[in-house]
């Protein structure tokens, strides 16, 4: 590809990265969605993943939770087990009319501690109620989730992640189709996680939101365009380049694409 090569500030040499990506290539049915991504997410960092549609942002999160096996390269978690990761998928495959109430949904966040058989005592229940208070849903404990709006349900999912108490939190477009007030409240929760030195990685579209709330950004267009401080990563030249790359993508599948050039020796 034309243009100057990006030097990625968080290289493999960074010792304090909690997730390290090494020459990572991801895709579905042999069609790569991400090429040769290397770098690391610092422990305690708050990073936005930004890029045009089809840039491989969601794919990257799926690979980090282990739901997608890399075509090439690998994801290394440092000092983390899968139980230390909380993941909010873009469209959670949740049955929204399932007969379960808000508190029970939030209590699922305790799964790592209670598993299949252990009972949930008063202390764990109180933590779930506190989490509901943090997301502004006190008093909703016994509401069935079918009776909630999309924004309220997203608050419930954030409360469940609060209860999960995970060290790495992955959010895939958490504020899409969510009203402004809910977004502001949930951004407060994200800030709180950042203050607690948890690592948060969020796929986002709203660049203003990214600039004002996320210190670090990974700009992705199937290849990494920029990765570093948000002000640098979202510089106009980088955005133009990301858009130019997206325009080069075929509309449907890239069956005619040859093998990846850089994969060859």
Q: Which residues bind other proteins (CB under 8 A)?
A: 65-67, 82-83, 85, 87, 89, 92-95, 98-101, 105, 108, 111-112, 115-117, 144, 164
SS3 letters across 201-249: EEECCCHHHHHHHCCEEEEEECEEEEEEEHHHHCCHHHHHHHHHHHHCC
Q: Report helix angle 122-134 to 150-164, nearest 10.
A: 130
End-to-end, the C-alpha distance of the chain in Å comes to 17
Q: 3 vs 82, which CB is nearer to other proteins?
A: 82
Tell the residue number behind the tokens 């909010």, with chain if given.
88
Least CB distance to other proteins at residue 93 (A): 5
Q: 3 vs 139, which CB is nearer to other proteins?
A: 139
Least CB distance to other proteins at residue 233 (A): 28
Q: 117 vs 253, which CB is nearer to other proteins?
A: 117
Least CB distance to other proteins at residue 96 (A): 10
Question: What are the angstrom distances between the C-alpha of 193 and each of 80, 188, 259?
Answer: 17, 9, 41
Tell the residue number behind the tokens 């379960």, with chain if given.
100
Q: 72 vs 101, which CB is nearer to other proteins?
A: 101
Least CB distance to other proteins at residue 29 (A): 11
CB 79 within 8 A of CB 44: no
Least CB distance to other proteins at residue 82 (A): 7
Least CB distance to other proteins at residue 23 (A): 24
Q: 150 vs 240, which CB is nearer to other proteins?
A: 150
Least CB distance to other proteins at residue 26 (A): 18
3-state secondary structure of 168: strand
Contacts of 199 (CB under 8 A, 6+ apart): 18, 19, 41, 42, 43, 44, 45, 46, 167, 168, 169
The closest of 195, 169, 179, 220 to 57, measured between CA atoms, is 220
Q: 46 vs 168, which CB is nearer to other proteins?
A: 168
Phi, psi of 149 (to 5 degrees): -80, 170
- Two tokens, residue 28: 């579905």
Q: 93 vs 251, which CB is nearer to other proteins?
A: 93
């Amino acid at each position: 590809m034309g243009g100057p090569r990006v030097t990625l500030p968080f290289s493999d040499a960074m010792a304090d990265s909690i997730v390290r990506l090494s020459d990572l290539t991801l895709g579905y049915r042999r069609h790569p969605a991400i090429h040769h991504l290397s770098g690391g997410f610092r422990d305690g960092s708050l990073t936005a993943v930004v890029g045009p549609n089809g840039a491989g942002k969601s794919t990257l999160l799926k690979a980090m939770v282990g739901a997608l096996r890399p075509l090439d390269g690998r994801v290394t978690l440092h000092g983390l087990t899968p139980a230390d990761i909380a993941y909010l998928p873009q469209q959670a495959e949740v049955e929204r009319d399932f007969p379960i109430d808000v508190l029970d949904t939030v209590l699922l966040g305790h799964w790592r501690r209670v598993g299949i058989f252990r009972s949930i005592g008063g202390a764990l229940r109180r933590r779930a109620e506190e989490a509901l208070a943090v997301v502004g849903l006190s008093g909703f404990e016994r509401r069935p989730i079918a009776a909630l709006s999309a924004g309220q349900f997203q608050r419930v999912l954030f409360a469940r992640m609060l209860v999960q108490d995970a060290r790495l939190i992955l959010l895939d477009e958490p504020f899409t189709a969510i009203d402004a007030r809910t977004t502001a409240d949930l951004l407060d929760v994200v800030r709180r996680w950042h203050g607690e030195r948890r690592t948060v990685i969020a796929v986002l579209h709203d660049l203003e939101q990214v600039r004002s709330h996320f210190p670090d950004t990974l700009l992705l267009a199937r290849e990494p365009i920029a990765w570093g401080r948000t002000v640098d990563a979202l510089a106009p030249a980088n955005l133009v380049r990301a858009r130019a790359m997206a325009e080069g993508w075929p509309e449907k599948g890239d069956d005619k694409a040859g093998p990846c050039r850089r994969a060859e020796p």
